[in-house]
Amino acid sequence: MLSETDITLLVAAQSLELAAQDIYEVVVSKKSKSDDEQALLVLMHSHHAAYGQTLNGVLSKRAATRRNEEAYTKFFVMLSDTSKLWSTLLELENTAIATHTAIIESLSSAKNAALLASITTVEARHAAMLATLISTDLDLALENPAQALVTQ
């Protein structure tokens, strides 16, 4: 059984995943990238959808009922500058990584911490790949300046 604290933290993680899923849905629907880039965007969208569904299964009746609207609005506005698509998505992934890492540190359930860690690992790969689309600077791929959306 999940503690109330773990439920609150996992709902925060899930609502962020729902926001990420919706942001990727916006990007994918524009169909403005090459076939390879479009396939990559579809793949990342499917990852975020799967993470939201997985967390929904863990939380059951306590699952998030809506996306993190603050995160969604922030990244949606950033997408208005089409020249910054990749950097916007990189910031989104880095924000998810920072947030999930902060949540992992506060979870009492080792099983759910491991689940969220597995999600974070893939999001870190997303971030590293997105960084390589922006620059050859390795620091951009390896360093995460984003702030977590939750406090410990």
Which residue in 74, 60, 57, 63 sits closest to 19, CA to CA?
A: 74
Nearest to 27 by CA among 88, 98, 100, 99: 88
Query: For 82, which DSSP code?
Result: G
Give the model's confidence band at 120: pLDDT under 50 very low, under 70 low, under 90 confident, else very high.
very high
Read off the pLDDT band of 151 (50, 70, 90): low
What crossing angle do the helices spanning 110-134 and 35-59 adopt, rounded to 10°? Answer: 160
- pLDDT, tens digit, 9 for 90 and up, residues 85-114: 999 999 999 999 999 999 999 999 999 999
Give the global pTM.
0.93
CB count within 10 Å of CB 53 equals: 14
Largest Cα span, the chain: 46
Inter-CA distances, 11 with 74, 100, 105, 111, Å? 19, 11, 15, 16
CATH C-level class of 4-142: mainly alpha
